[in-house]
Amino acid sequence: MTTIEAPASREVPYVSAVAEAFAQLMREDPAIFIAGEDVALYGSVFGVTRGLLNEFGPERVIDTPIAESGIMGLGLGAAATGLRPIIDIMFMDFMGVCMDEVVNQIAKMKYMFGGKAKIPLTIHTMAGAGTSMAAQHSQSLEAWFCHVPGLKVVMPSGPYEAKGLMVAAVRDDNPVIVVNTKTILGMRAHVPEELYEIPLGKAHVVRPGTNFTILATGRMVGESVRAAELLASDGLDVEVIDPRTLQPFDTETVVASVKKTHRALVAHEAVRFGGIGAEFAAQIQEEAFDHLDAPVGRVGAPFTPVPFSPPLEKEYLPNADKIAAEVRRILGRQA
């Protein structure tokens, strides 16, 4: 396992980082194939599989019918019998169509069979609002899957994470759901050309700080760094942590930070109620109660489906300003 720290040289957009990870992994391991709707000839509607069909052919890059249960079951059956499938579910919302495969079959086969099965399956999907795609194409449903024993869940916050976490996910011998955020697919950052892994279950301190901890997932990592910059002018030195993997969750790194800063807030784009932030906040309070100077704050979307109309969607979405405002509110309450 190599985690390569980035000398800023090769800037790559998120979408290409994913495509590169797929190609390099497929070169390395002939047991890997990728299946999904319009992933082959069209290179996926998001462009994440562009070029794969040319290099690996239709046996390994497979356009499927629109049949999410079938596609997901195909992945499970193949994984249980020696292959290492990557299954693309175009929009995370469509996971609703294949929940039995994911929750009752994929997650549980190993345990139910007394540990005998090995399910090296990666599910790749796209979450997030902000594109005027309305209630059925904009959700962030990662908490659903974090709640199911047997599944692992990662949520990349940028191109470097997207490639490194994908490599770790595909090489992992368990089902891993990779939740990308469609609105950061164009984000550019340094991405090493070679294959590298970001270990699953390890959080990353994105921005070190001393007097407040923001724990943010996916797109909210970038928003939290911006919030930290806004708060710096108030004299606050905010630490931003990206858990990278939501399940399993790296409690240790986060708790160490909170013991240092004494205040924390969790931020995600998903609906706040029952979001993964609720679990994170609970763990922080369990593990670091005596170190906390204020209740753990939470920023997430309000409890409503994602609206279509742009002004409503803007109102809906968490962002740097809302995160900064919540930090100020927490500090105000504490005073």
- For ligand TPP, the binding residues (CB under 6 A) are 37, 66, 68, 90, 94, 97
Which segment (120-128, 266-274, 277-285, 312-320) binds another protein by CB under 8 A? Answer: 312-320
Decide: is 199 part of the binding site for another protein (CB under 8 A). Answer: no
Decide: is 111 part of the binding site for another protein (CB under 8 A). Answer: no
Contact in structure between 165 and 133 (CB atoms under 8 Å): no
C-beta of 74 vs 176, nearer to another protein? 74
**Could you give the CA distance from residue 219 to residue 157 in angstroms, rounded to a whole number?**
5
Contact in structure between 254 and 243 (CB atoms under 8 Å): yes
Torsion of CA 207, 211, 215, 221, to 10 degrees: -40
Number of residues that bind another protein (CB under 8 A): 36
| List 23, 31, 45, 195, residue binding another protein (CB under 8 A) | 45
Nearest residue to ligand TPP on Cβ basis: 94
What does 63 bind: another protein, ligand TPP, none (CB cut-off 5 to 8 Å by kind)?
another protein
Non-local (6+) Cβ contacts of 54 within 8 A are none
Decide: is 93 part of the binding site for another protein (CB under 8 A). Answer: yes
**Number of Cβ atoms within 10 Å of the Cβ of 59:** 7
Q: 């399993």: which residue's tokens?
A: 248
H or E stretch covering 28: helix 14-28
Which segment (3-11, 125-133, 155-163, 249-257) binds another protein by CB under 8 A? Answer: 125-133
Least gap, CB of 69 to another protein (angstroms): 5
**Could you give the CA distance from residue 187 to residue 122 in angstroms, rounded to a whole number?**
23
**Could you give the CA distance from residue 255 to residue 285 in angstroms, rounded to a whole number?**
9
Decide: is 88 part of the binding site for another protein (CB under 8 A). Answer: no
Decide: is 274 part of the binding site for another protein (CB under 8 A). Answer: no
234 DSSP assignment: T
Decide: is 8 part of the binding site for another protein (CB under 8 A). Answer: no
C-beta of 199 vs 307, nearer to another protein? 307
Q: Which residue numbers are catalytic?
A: 68, 137
